[in-house]
Amino acid sequence: MPQTNAAVIPVVIVPDLTSINDPTRNIVFSNISATTTSFYLIAGRYAITYRSTSWGGGSVTLQQLAQDLVTFIPAAVAITADGTGLVEIPTGYYKFAVATATGVYLAMSKVN
């Protein structure tokens, strides 16, 4: 059988930036009891779902890194009960500050 010198063309798979696995559009934390590490989000409107196995008088607050690049400031009101809300935010670094609540489940997804 004769050999051919067929060219091999590499295939590069480029991820779809609108996928649910894009960490700049979708953030999930499960069963946490302390403030999260910071994460980067692109500007837009986000739906946030909050659930805690025990709020215990505590709260969860979405915080944004301030212009001094050191201080995190509230980006939304503190949440003290299970629920869902909408927030419109600029591009930047964020974290969820957890105070007293335990067994916290958070999901934040870009809706536009």
d(CA 41, CA 20): 13
* Ordered structural domains, the chain, with CATH: 26-110 (2.60.120.380)
d(CA 50, CA 86): 11
- How do the pLDDT tens digits run along the chain, 112 residues long? 555 555 555 554 444 444 455 767 889 999 999 999 999 999 999 999 999 999 999 999 999 999 999 999 999 999 999 999 999 999 999 999 999 999 999 999 999 7
The burial class, CB within 10 Å (0-12 / 13-18 / 19+), for 105 is middle
Confidence at residue 17, expressed as pLDDT on a 0 to 100 scale: 43
pTM above 0.85, yes or no: no
Is the Cβ–Cβ distance between 104 and 52 less than 8 Å?
A: yes
Confidence at residue 112, expressed as pLDDT on a 0 to 100 scale: 74
Confidence at residue 58, expressed as pLDDT on a 0 to 100 scale: 94
Query: What is the amino acid identity at position 92?
Result: G
d(CA 57, CA 101): 7
